[in-house]
Amino acid sequence: MKRVFMIFLFIIMIVSYENVIFASYNEEVFEEDLYHQVDGIFKERIRIWNNFLTGQYISTDKIEEDLKNFISYPLIEEEIEMYEKMVAEPTSFEMISKVYIKDIDVIQNKLNTVQLEATVLWDVLGYLDNYTEELNYWIELKRVNDRWMLSDYKIN
């Protein structure tokens, strides 16, 4: 009886150990996937930003069309409004040469929504000098049609 009990406990211990490793691995893979998603989204945003600043967009309709590929509601409305204001009231803005996602942490993971904290480095082409700016963000991604899309973000 003791032998059967010991074998049973040993099997449970092995199964539990494998599940812990598997769960840990899944979380790491998930975070790495989110890292690449956020990196791609921010790179697309600076591509659109820089193209806008250099006059490569004729209208905000085309900007909206491009933004809808990786930004969802409600943020898409705010982004379009910002570009419309920039067209109506032109001022000078600095271009961005590169963006780096320094680190990312999952705060909350729900079925189709993920909230993250991320540290982002921006290489800015300043008027007098180029510089790097490091900002911490709270980011929300929503799963839309099997894609993670940026739905909100704020500077921490």
- The per-residue pLDDT for range 115-152, each reduced to its tens digit, is 999 999 999 999 899 999 999 999 999 999 989 999 99
Closest CA to 101 of 53, 152, 33, 49: 33
The two tokens of residue 102 are 């320094």
Cβ-contact 34, 116 below 8 angstroms: yes
User: The pTM is what?
Assistant: 0.80
The two tokens of residue 93 are 């803005």
> Phi and psi at residue 69, in whole multiples of 5°?
-75, -20
Length of the chain: 156
The two tokens of residue 107 are 């705060």
What value does the mean pLDDT take over residues 72-101? Answer: 93
Cβ-contact 34, 114 below 8 angstroms: yes
Q: Which of 7-11, 67-71, 130-134, 139-143 has the lowest mean pLDDT?
A: 7-11
Q: Is the pLDDT of residue 21 over 50?
A: no
29-155: CATH topology is: Nuclear Transport Factor 2; Chain: A, (3.10.450)
Q: Is the pLDDT of residue 11 over 90?
A: no
